[in-house]
Structure formats: C-alpha cells, structure tokens
Structure 1
Amino acid sequence: MRIALVGCGRISANHFEAIDRVEGLELSAVCDSVEARAREAGERWQVPWFTSYEKMLVEADCDAVAIATPSGLHPAHGILAARAGKHVISEKPMAITLASADALVKACDDAGVHLFVVKQNRLNATVQMVKRALDKGRFGRLFLANTTVHWSRPQSYYDQAPWRGTWEFDGGAFMNQASHYVDLMQWLVGPVESVIAKTATMARKIEAEDTGAAVLKFRNGALGVIEVTMLTYPKNLEGSFTLIGEKGTVKVGGTAVNRIEHWAFADADPDDADVERVNTDPPSVYGFGHEPYYRNVLRVIRGEAVPDTDGRGGRKSLELILGIYESAKTGREVPLPLRGAL
C-alpha cells in the first residue's frame, strides 16, 4: 500500500520511520508548502516531493494520504484526499471544531474510504496492559482517574510557525500537546457526563492556553482530573495516567505513559509478570506507537481488522476537549455530549 504524506514538520519523521518499518507499506510522495522541507523529505526518502497538495493528489501514485499539517487544516486536506479516492490518515486532532470533524467523516463515508485518526499512545504496551486489566474487570468499581502532562514548550517552539498556539489552526495545550492524554481518559474510563475547567495563558505569547486543569464526572460514577502545562522548567517532566478502583491501582508514567510506576491488584493475573517487560524509553514524547498504528491501517485496508481509531473514535476526544474549552470560557459545568455547533 502506497502512502503519500502532506506536512513535513515536527511529527512527520515518526510517520516516515513507521511506514519504512512496516512490510507492505511504501512511502510514495511527500508535500509541504515550505519548499525546503518538502525537498529535504523527498530526498531523504527518495520519493517525489511537491509544494502543491492538489498537484500531489493528482500526480502521486498513492492509496492513502497521511495528514500531518496544522490541526485546523486536517479536515480540508482530508476531504480533498477522500474526494480523490484516497484513504485518510489524520494526525491528532482530526479537527478543531465538531462541524469540520463531521464534514470529514461524511466525506470519507461518501467516498467509501477509511478515515484513521492517529492516537498512538493507545498502542503503548503499558497502556495496552491497563486496557486488558479494565476489560478483565480487575479494577472493580472505578473511583478516580488522573492524567498529568507536565511538559515544556518554550516561546521559541511557538515562534517556529505562525499557526502554533492560534485558535484558528492549533488550539492550546489541551487541543495540541495533551490531546492524546484527554483521549486516554475517555477511552479507558468511559463516556464523560460533564466537565468543569479552568485555563490560562500565563507565560507564552499565544492566543490559546499554555496551562489548564479540568475535573470530569464519568457516566459510570468515577471522577477524573486532567492537569496540563507547557511551562515546566527546564524540560518535559511527566506524561502520566493513574487509575484507582476498588480492587486495583495503576500508574503509568514516564514522559509519555511509557513506564508502569505502580501496579497493584487484589487478584493475581498472568499479566502481572509482564510489568517490567513492557516499560520503554522512547527518544521523544511521541513514543513508539506510530508503527503499530500503521500495522493496523494496513490490516484494515486488507480487510483483516477494524480500525484502532476511526473518525468517530477521534471525534469523541475532540468533543471532550471542546467541552473543556467551553467550560473554561463560560465558567460553568458543561454536560456532554455538547449541544450546538462547536
């Protein structure tokens, strides 16, 4: 299966390397509006490069398009790919409004192509261990879930591209950097009933927030807390998830939910022997999840599997993020699902 990629920025290397490692996949073209980036990626991976996305869709030999452009452009780029008959692989978030997310889902449905949304942290071996424990009922009744993202993004990071930190193309710490962690909350614990949140822009010259906190009430009765900042000194400190239930407590930490720091259950299970084995030390906060994600993409298109995260799955975490923003803006507790056009 041949994949073309648009957006040769920060995250593209993870896509290129994952595609290269998966037998049955081939990178066939790259595109970026910045000619130097497009040329560099094309020459590095020895594929045609383009500065016009529309031209790449016409001329490149591809079955799917991976979209790694600014978040606000994901729907438009995905819709163009779908109309060209290409499967769509969208980086997170799939959109920054529900209306544009729904338009992307509809375009892929109408074209009869798959829509995949990259949520690679779900595929971390550590997170998969937690999911299996939940599916087996090892936690019993869930009481409290917490995710903490203490990362560092200096002003120079935002200054690298004019779209970063803007409401139109990016969003803030919740929408961009912490979106995988918001996704883990709703994917692991279950649907959210309501959220109340505070956000602030305290030290970065951007439109959106650099710091925020949210309290969630889940439909199953559990409570949750999401704590996010991009102001940690002097570097990324923690990307963690803690889950507390009546018969089990687990914390997955490290900089990118890559290490099991606490694993305690009332009843033993064969998985307990794998706690140390699944720990990893990824070179960045992106982890190692892109490769298994692309393996799933290939199997889905071959008709051998269902998507790990499709468009409707990606929409769920987007809705929670928008609920957080709505609460921070209005100062009120916001029920989910959201009402109105957000």
Structure 2
Amino acid sequence: MNFAIIGCGFIAKKHAAAIENIENAKLVAVCDKYGEAMKPYVKQYGAEPYSDLGELLKDDSIDIVCICTPSGLHAPIAEQVAKAKKHIVLEKPIAMTMEETDKIIKASEENDVKLAVVHPNRFRPVVQELRAIMDSGAFGKLSHASCIVNWNRNQEYYDQAPWRGTKEHDGGVLMNQAIHNLDLLLWFMGRPEEVFSMEATRLRKIEAEDVSTGVVRFESGALATIQASTTVYPRNYEESITIFGEKGTVKIGGANALYFEHVEIEGFKEEQIKTMKEKIESDPWGIPGHQRILSDMIQAVKENREPAITGRDGRNALELVLGFYESANTNKPIQL
C-alpha cells in the first residue's frame, strides 16, 4: 500500500523508516509548509513533495496517511484526510480536546476509513508478555497500580519549535510524554471512573506542566498512582508500571519500561520467571512499535477490521489526561 506523511518533523522519520521496512509498503508523498523539511524524504524515498494538503489528497494512489504535525493541528487535518477517503494513522495525542477528538472519530466513521492512533509501547515485548499474564487471570483480583515517567527534557528540547510546551498545540509532560504510559495503564486496568491530580511548572520555561502527580479510581474499584516529570537531571531516569493483584506483583521498568524488574506470581516457578526475563532482555525493543502499527493498519484495511489501537483508544487516553488537567485546575476530584 502507498503511504503519505503530513508534517516532516522529528517523528516523521520513524514513520518513514517503518514504511521502508514493511514489505509491499511505499512512501509516495510528503506534505509540509517548509520545503526544506521535505527534501530528505524526496531524496531518500523518492516521495513526491506537496506544500498544499488539498493537492496531496487528490492523489488517488495514496491509501494511508500518517499525520505527524503538532498535536494542535491533528483535528482539522484528520477531518480533511477522512473526507478524502484515505485511511489515517494519527500520532499521539489524538487531539487536544474531546470535541476535536469526537470530530475526528465521526469523520472517519462517516467516510468509512480506518483510524489508528500511535501508542507504540503496547507492542514492546515486555508489555505484550505482561498483557498475556493478565489475560490468563494469574493476578486474580487487581488491587492497585503505579505508573511512573520521570524523564529529562531540557530547555533546548522545548526551544526547538515555538509550539512545544504550549497548551494549545502540545501540552506538558502528561499530554506529550506520559500519555503512552497512561495508555498502557488503561489497557491493563480498564475504564477509569474518578481522578485527582496536582501539577506544577517547576524548571522549564513553558506554559504547560513539567511535573504532575495523580490518583485514579477505576470502575473495578482498583486504584492507581501516577507520577510524571520532564525535570529529572541529567537524563531519563525511569518509566515503569507496577501491577498489584491478590496473586501476583509485576513491575516493568528501566529508563523506558523495557524489562521485568520484579515478577512474583502464584504458581510461577523461579526457572520459568528467569527464562521469561532472559527472553525479554535478549531483544527488549522487538520490532519497532511504529512498524507494528503501520503493518497492522495494512492488515486492518485488507481484512476490513478495526486497527489494533483505535481512535477510541486514543480518546480514552486523552480523556484521562484532560481529567487530570481539570482536577489540577479546580483542585477537586473529577468524575470521568
């Protein structure tokens, strides 16, 4: 299938590399208002450059469009792409507001196009293994969870582009960095019911938060704590999720939540756990998440099914982030 990329900034490189590594997939077009940004994709992949989105969408050879623009531009672009009957792979977050998100989902449904949101952490080998353990029922009744993203994004990172760190087009650590971990938390723990959060902008010169802490109550009655920051010195320190159940405790962690740091599950023998850990450590990244998402989109189109990570999955993660924001602004618990 033929792909186009809209927005040729940093994240577009991952999409282009993923397309190149998928059999029978080709990057045929790119779109950006800056001609210089498109040149590497024209040179390396032979993509046709477009400065006007409307012109790109007239190309009948394009099957799937990857939207890699600043987050605040996702909604109007995704609606336009959907109306052109192109399938959509949308970088996270799906949008900046619930109203924008619902417009994207409605446009994709009305125009019968597939919509996938990029939450690639779901495809990490350790995450897949933990999900399989949870699906087996080995944890028993879930008690609570811990979700941590303590990373470094220095001021130079935010100064790369004027939209970074703004509330209109980017958001802070929850919206930009921790949203992947929050997506995993929802995937593991189910629907959230109530949230309470505090946030601050402590070290970075940005509009949005660089530190956030929060608590979630899920429909099941289970609880979770969330801690996220981009202020850690001098580099990324920890990304982790810990699940606590009546028959098991498992933590996946490291600087990028790639490894089993703790595994104790009723009925699991020590040798079994050791083998499982060693398997993950031999190839912690696995096939890149972007490649898995784009490959899945191709199959979803061929099989006429929903993508693995849908627009509604993206909506759920955004709803949680916005719930935290509302709670921090009002200093009150928020019902979702």
The TM-score, its normalising length taken from structure 2, stands at: 0.95
2:277 alignment counterpart: 275
Query: Within 2, Cα distance between the matches of 1:260 and 1:69?
Result: 34
SS at match of 2:57: helix
Conserved? CA contact 2:114–2:306, under 8 Å: no
Conserved? CA contact 1:4–1:60, under 8 Å: no
The Cα shift of 1:40 comes to 2.0
Query: Within 1, Cα distance between the matches of 2:272 and 2:135?
Result: 13
Residues 132, 58 of structure 1: CA spacing in aligned structure 2 closer, same or farther, 3 A cutoff? same
Residues 304, 77 of structure 1: CA spacing in aligned structure 2 closer, same or farther, 3 A cutoff? closer
> Which runs of 5 or more residues in structure 2 are unaligned?
none
Query: Within 1, Cα distance between the matches of 2:74 and 2:144?
Result: 33
Residues 304, 114 of structure 1: CA spacing in aligned structure 2 closer, same or farther, 3 A cutoff? closer
SS at match of 1:176: helix
Query: Within 1, Cα distance between the matches of 2:156 and 2:28?
Result: 33
Aligned ranges 1:53-64 → 2 under 5 Å: 53-59=53-59, 61-64=61-64
The Cα shift of 1:6 comes to 0.8
Query: Within 1, Cα distance between the matches of 2:231 and 2:164?
Result: 15
Query: Within 1, Cα distance between the matches of 2:170 and 2:160?
Result: 13
Aligned ranges 1:254-333 → 2 under 5 Å: 254-268=254-268, 272=273, 273-279=275-281, 280=283, 282=285, 288-303=288-303, 306-333=306-333
Query: Within 1, Cα distance between the matches of 2:42 and 2:304?
Result: 31
Conserved? CA contact 1:28–1:60, under 8 Å: no
The Cα shift of 1:282 comes to 5.0
Query: Within 2, Cα distance between the matches of 1:260 and 1:53?
Result: 44
Query: Within 2, Cα distance between the matches of 1:76 and 1:44?
Result: 29
Aligned ranges 1:123-272 → 2 under 5 Å: 123-268=123-268, 272=273
Query: Following superposition, which runs of at least 4 residues in structure 1 exceed 6 angstroms of deviation?
Result: none
Conserved? CA contact 2:125–2:280, under 8 Å: yes
Residues 306, 85 of structure 1: CA spacing in aligned structure 2 closer, same or farther, 3 A cutoff? closer
Identify, as 1 or 2, the structure richer in helix: 2
1:101 to 2:101 alignment: yes
2:89 alignment counterpart: 89
Aligned ranges 1:4-153 → 2 under 5 Å: 4-59=4-59, 61-153=61-153
The TM-score, its normalising length taken from structure 1, stands at: 0.93
Deviations 1:63-101, CA, capped at 9 Å, x for gaps:
111001001111111111111110011011110100000
Residues 58, 105 of structure 1: CA spacing in aligned structure 2 closer, same or farther, 3 A cutoff? same
Deviations 1:250-299, CA, capped at 9 Å, x for gaps:
1111222211111111113897433321234559xxx9211111121111
Conserved? CA contact 2:32–2:51, under 8 Å: yes
How many residues align structurally?
333
**Residue type matched to 1:192 in 2?**
P
> Which runs of 5 or more residues in structure 1 are unaligned?
337-342
Residues 60, 159 of structure 1: CA spacing in aligned structure 2 closer, same or farther, 3 A cutoff? farther
Query: Within 1, Cα distance between the matches of 2:277 and 2:318?
Result: 31
The Cα shift of 1:305 comes to 5.2
Query: Within 2, Cα distance between the matches of 1:124 and 1:188?
Result: 14
Query: Within 2, Cα distance between the matches of 1:59 and 1:330?
Result: 47
